[in-house]
Amino acid sequence: MSAEPTVEGLAQELSTYLDTNRINQVRRAYYYAEQAHEGQMRKSGDRYITHPLAVARILAELKLDHQSLMAAMLHDVIEDTGIPKDALAEQFGEDVAELVDGVSKLTQIEFRSRAEAQAENFQKMTLAMARDIRVILVKLADRLHNMRTLGPMPYEKRQRIATETLDIYAPIANRLGMHSLCTELEDLGFSSLYPMRAKYISKAVNKLRGSHREIIEEIRGKLQEKLEERGLPGRILGREKHLNSIYNKMKFKQKSFHEIMDVYAFRIITDTEDDCYRILGAVHSLYKPLPGRFKDYIAMPKANGYQSLHTTLFGMHVNIEIQIRTEEMEHIANNGIAAHWMYKNEPSNVTSVNQARVDRWVKGLMEMRERADDSLEFIEHVKVDLFPDEIYVFTPKGRIMELPSGATPVDFAYAIHTDIGNAAVACRINRNLASLSQPLQSGQTVEIITAPGARPNPAWLSFVVTGKARSSIRHVLKTQKRAESLELGRTLLKKSLKGFGTRLSEISDGQKQIVVNHNQVNSFDDLISDIGLGNRMAYLVARQLVTGAPGEEPPVVQAERPTERSPVTIRGTEGLLVKFASCCKPIPGDPVVGVMDSGNGMVIHSDTCSRLPEDDEGRARLTHLKWAKDINDEFSVELRVELERQRGVIAELANAVAMADGNIERISVEDQNAKFGIVSLVVHVNGRKHLARVMRRIRNIRAVTHINRVRH
């Protein structure tokens, strides 16, 4: 037991960057925790206090502030020893107590394999991060020490913790820019889940490293020589390949082990940004750069604050990957957001930029959380944002926006502001009009064109890639659907009440409440919304409101009388809840009826449609409709044209439709024989009169022998 680490060892490490007063506060927290955990042991047989001490040591390596270290010492006290938060606040101050409380709440989170529980907990974690990002830093250090000491745990628990580490904690560390912590978590998680694969890859790596040592040394020597020749400062490090990343490249990029390992990776660390670009010139003069493989993350940092120049060279018959960065960038690359709390005399520009990025990310998470209906939807949005490969595009004013690869102009619009996304109607890419669904490429300038009163299109959900865009669109569509279902439901209910000789305004609140309770909904609005969605029959609700006898089932025949007297007016622009049947394609002027489709609102059919119910009960459920007077929307109609085959007849057809102000959506030829053909046309018209005009034009073509409107 003598090898057990001590608080004095930690204090010595802390003395490199903290003053005595602060070190003593950390010491006090240690003795307090030691007393609280007295008699508790870990699975390994060590005293429990060794765990908080090890977590504090990990944070000390990151040079975190004294409050985080105190929270690390005390992070299990509330949960394991029953000491309340108030007692900690009294002893160590409000800030430390808040941190400990935040970490305890995260510790109670078990990301079970059930997605629901996992999602709920991820929300809690987001809230904790929003209050104080140090909570997650302590939690990550706690998780890292648990992963290092997983050995004695039962198999199932090891598997669960390792999966959770790879799914949740490693990506968060990556998102916060903490590269060294992230790779260690990934490698430990990988070794735990796949011990045999890890052993095999590790053995192969060691074997290969031995046989490649001379090449590595030779390349390093040449690089060093070149830097000295040009008088450039820089230390050259070889870069290790991590087991988990080797495995993922083999699995997902379908590369063989030797393909991955035949790349020699180096990192050159220098003093200033200027030196980085000079060194880049020097290495390019030594070996040929591979085209398309250069990335400048200094001018355009990654979303987690990472900065470096990346280039791939071809020399000595092998590929050489080189990263060039300053000491400051190296520091940020390894420790990410943790670098923000490190004790420095002068505030660094890079850390504050990095902090701003994380703040923006956490703020984005909070916005998504408010908009998501349930936690599962939320975690689906967040997982997308946890590790995107970024692209960089410009606003018309030259501001750089970072987006995940595959992002579209709609994602870009929402990244600027939710209102811009909601009102987007078109876009320009590099000043040319482009489709909103086109994936963006790095370096493009994107301009969004908005229109007042525009709304998100449900089809956008099929191509947006960012969580923010997806959650915003869903949110607007839900709100829109709710407003429309209320409007349609109210119209249908008023119409049914009219049939009973009464008005909605004449129904007492008490009577409404009785019907609400009977139907087991939360409010009268929910009931009306259900009618609009097609989940309830307006006639039955109206009858309950009038008779006050919810229990009785009405005789079906009665339903026909009230319906026929007062048809509902439709305009064709009702939105998400009024759809036109694709079987009979009704247009203004056709006699039409509405069929309620559960959960989706009303589908409008032509009243001669073969799909409508034949029996009395089914007919009674139909809603009689009439068209509004001033409709100028376009509707699809299918026409079947029989004609004699001759050259140019299709062009003549298209011309005839255009002359009658119609629009062709689709045209297809179904050949019958060498002499006659049948053409199926889908055209857009704005009513029966317009259709008659189009058909007259087509009929006037000499080759046309017969034309009729298709109704399935």
Query: Which residues are annotated as catalytic?
Result: 79-80
Cα–Cα dist 561/564, whole Å: 6
Cα–Cα dist 332/176, whole Å: 10
Cα–Cα dist 280/324, whole Å: 7
| Six token digits for residue 519 | 């139907």
Q: Which of 536, 627, 526 is nearest to 580 (CA)?
A: 627
Q: What residues form DSSP beta bridges with 288?
A: 314
- What lies within 8 Å, CB to CB, of 571 at 6+ separation is 627, 628, 631, 633
Cα 512 off chain centre by: 41
| Six token digits for residue 419 | 């209102």
| Six token digits for residue 360 | 């923006």
Cα–Cα dist 88/102, whole Å: 13
Amino acid of residue 387: F
Q: Which of 405, 470, 476, 415 is nearest to 442 (CA)?
A: 405
Burial bucket for residue 203 (CB in 10 Å: 0-12, 13-18, 19+):
exposed
Cα 169 off chain centre by: 17
Cα 701 off chain centre by: 54
Q: Over 308-350, what HEC string results? A: CEEEEEEECCEEEEEEEEEHHHHHHHHHHHHHHHCCCCCCCHH
Helix or strand run (H / E) with residue 91: helix 85-92
Half-sphere CA count of 87, side-chain side, radius 13 A: 11
40 phi and psi angles, rounded to 5 deg: -85, 140
76 phi and psi angles, rounded to 5 deg: -105, 0
